[in-house]
Structure 1
């Protein structure tokens, strides 16, 4: 009898270990290499023996080993989540098996016990096979930390339930209670996860809406600027004849001093040169994403009272085909933020700031972008400012240049250079058409 029980127990451990290994690889979609199968499979089979049948301890040690094994892997998060799923499944299988054995009074019937356990394992395999794609997507989503946290909660609650049940079984009412309790735990975990995702989506949606509102305000400001400029030009044309006649008389009488004085007064009264130059040449940019980032940064410079000049004489209707627009927008955004930050620092020191921006594109499709800004008097290492984590508050605004370099490395036809002439920092980007690179 003891030999039969030992054989049944060994067979169940083998089936359980193989099932756990299959669930892990199925959910995580990590490559089932010979090395992984031998090491992970060996752990799943040997730990229950080492732990002398204490299932909860064996499962806990398995989880710890998997976390340690994948600690340096790129797939660490999905591996941790997958082994936690294995732990939750094992706990639920143990609870269901114990409850069914008690309710059906089959504890002393070895083969029937074996049949019940195998049936529950088959059911678990069927459920995992049905849901593994969803589980994998949750482990790979932006919210994977939340999902893993809920898996830890489920694992701890089901394990503690099983330990407590093992101490108090033989009472049918408790069997029913624990069955309902586990179901409530699962429903609670799922409901919590769904609610957290909904909250995050709401916050993300609000963040996107705030961003759209900000961009809309900037575009409205640009539109108002165009309308005001048009009104100024219309008023200028309307007054042109009267002004011309008045100036003509002064010129005929040879009163040059009065002529210059009248021109100066008219300019100050009728033409707000600073506002007139606010978005000069932006109309040449036809690529919406580029136009939007330029308007946003010029608006910020104008609002911060940073003197600047923007030049774009060519119509920018497209960028080279293989360049992701968002990557280019990020580069322009980071470089402008650096220049703005440095200019604000100069202003705090009561020093003159100035930013020069140029965008151009030739007939061959070559795209150029350059931004130059005045900087503080300090020694700068071009190598240092491009390193990740460099502090801009100590010297120049090098923040983000490491990110720019990581973007640049994605494209063979993109060249970026930095220069630090006395008192200035110069950022220069060139994107050549892909066909010129390949020719």
Structure 2
């Protein structure tokens, strides 16, 4: 609109009769343009501040839930430590008596059961301690809590310490939120309800692998990244195209998708070059 008015003012300025009017009109347009720019900038800052406050609020809620979960697991491990002393005593008595059958029974019914219990998926939440990137840890924390609410079997495999990822924080949060949410939703609709999230530190890159069980049925790679396509119905399907758009802005990030009969896997590869 400002451009059209400027063209009109220029045309009027070419006419002697409207020369001064055209100049005044052009000046008003320039002033309106700058006022508009300051207004847009102010709105953008307000939006970013609001987003930051919402993110901090969400982080605080997630942190509280995470703390409660850690305390609960700690109490469980603490109780097991007390029981473990009794297991060792029983095993020692059986060894001293030379009762091989009793030793086998204790190993089968007690030690193997305890080992299976301690290796359960719920204890993998401790793996979040290896995430040094606050944005990624916050997203993973949120999804771990959501997975428990959905009744999903979430396994976190983060054996390496993961530092600051070379990607803008907002882009990282948006991208991982979409991919993790898709994994949870896909697993929720499946029979086995499994989600595995691995974060790996390689010499020259970070790799994030998100694998979820999925409902049986045809799913083509071409459809997944098509705007508007979704297995959840109409007016969805904007997630993965958004992820692809974010990744297209980075030369150091690649996304690979693998679709099998039972699983859907996303692999994000982030080169370490250009870490800031």
TM-score interval, smaller chain: 0.7 to 0.9
Residue 22 of structure 1 pairs with residue 34 of structure 2: no
Contact kept, 8 Å, 1:338 with 1:398, in 2: the verdict is no
- 2:105 corresponds to which of 243, 258, 262: 258
Residue 288 of structure 1 pairs with residue 134 of structure 2: yes
Residue aligned with 1:138, SS: helix
Residue 404 of structure 1 pairs with residue 243 of structure 2: yes
Counterpart CA distance in 2 for 1:278 and 1:265 is: 19
Shift of 1:239: 4.0
**Quick one: structure 1 residues 404 and 276, their matched pair in 2 at CA, closer, same or farther if it must change by over 3 Å?**
closer
Counterpart CA distance in 2 for 1:283 and 1:216 is: 17
What does residue 254 of structure 2 align with? 415
- 1:352 corresponds to which of 192, 216, 228: 192
TM-score by length of 2: 0.78
Contact kept, 8 Å, 2:152 with 2:187, in 1: the verdict is yes
What does residue 150 of structure 2 align with? 304
Contact kept, 8 Å, 1:387 with 1:402, in 2: the verdict is yes
Point out where structure 1 has 5 or more consecutive residues left out of the alignment.
1-9, 29-132, 144-199
Query: Hey, which of these two has a bigger chunk of strand by percent?
Result: 2
What does residue 428 of structure 1 align with? 267
Contact kept, 8 Å, 1:392 with 1:399, in 2: the verdict is no
Residue aligned with 2:125, SS: coil
**RMSD after superposition:** 3.2
- 2:87 corresponds to which of 240, 243, 247: 243
**Quick one: structure 1 residues 329 and 236, their matched pair in 2 at CA, closer, same or farther if it must change by over 3 Å?**
same
Counterpart CA distance in 1 for 2:232 and 2:38 is: 41
Residue 315 of structure 1 pairs with residue 155 of structure 2: no
Shift of 1:234: 3.6
What does residue 9 of structure 2 align with? none
Counterpart CA distance in 1 for 2:156 and 2:131 is: 12
Contact kept, 8 Å, 2:225 with 2:241, in 1: the verdict is yes
- 1:137 corresponds to which of 38, 44, 50: 38
**Quick one: structure 1 residues 244 and 413, their matched pair in 2 at CA, closer, same or farther if it must change by over 3 Å?**
same
Shift of 1:284: 0.6
What does residue 267 of structure 1 align with? 114
**Quick one: structure 1 residues 374 and 262, their matched pair in 2 at CA, closer, same or farther if it must change by over 3 Å?**
closer
| Residues 307-347 of structure 1: CA deviation (Å, up to 9, x unaligned) | 12110100012223xx212212221111011111222223x
Contact kept, 8 Å, 1:358 with 1:369, in 2: the verdict is yes
Contact kept, 8 Å, 1:365 with 1:433, in 2: the verdict is yes
Counterpart CA distance in 2 for 1:234 and 1:253 is: 30
**Quick one: structure 1 residues 242 and 377, their matched pair in 2 at CA, closer, same or farther if it must change by over 3 Å?**
closer
Decide which structure has the larger Cα Rg and report it: 1
- 1:369 corresponds to which of 188, 205, 208: 208
Shift of 1:15: 1.5
Counterpart CA distance in 2 for 1:317 and 1:139 is: 35
What does residue 334 of structure 1 align with? 178
What does residue 52 of structure 1 align with? none
For this pair of structures, how many residues does the alignment match?
255
Q: Highest relative contact order (Cα 8 Å, sep 6+), 1 or 2?
A: 2
Equivalence map 1:39-438=2 (5 Å): 133-139=34-40, 141-142=42-43, 211-251=55-95, 252-256=98-102, 258-260=105-107, 262-263=109-110, 267=114, 274=120, 276-320=122-166, 323-346=167-190, 351-362=191-202, 364-393=203-232, 399-434=238-273
**Quick one: structure 1 residues 208 and 136, their matched pair in 2 at CA, closer, same or farther if it must change by over 3 Å?**
closer
TM-score by length of 1: 0.51
What does residue 147 of structure 1 align with? none
Contact kept, 8 Å, 1:287 with 1:317, in 2: the verdict is yes
Counterpart CA distance in 1 for 2:138 and 2:106 is: 42
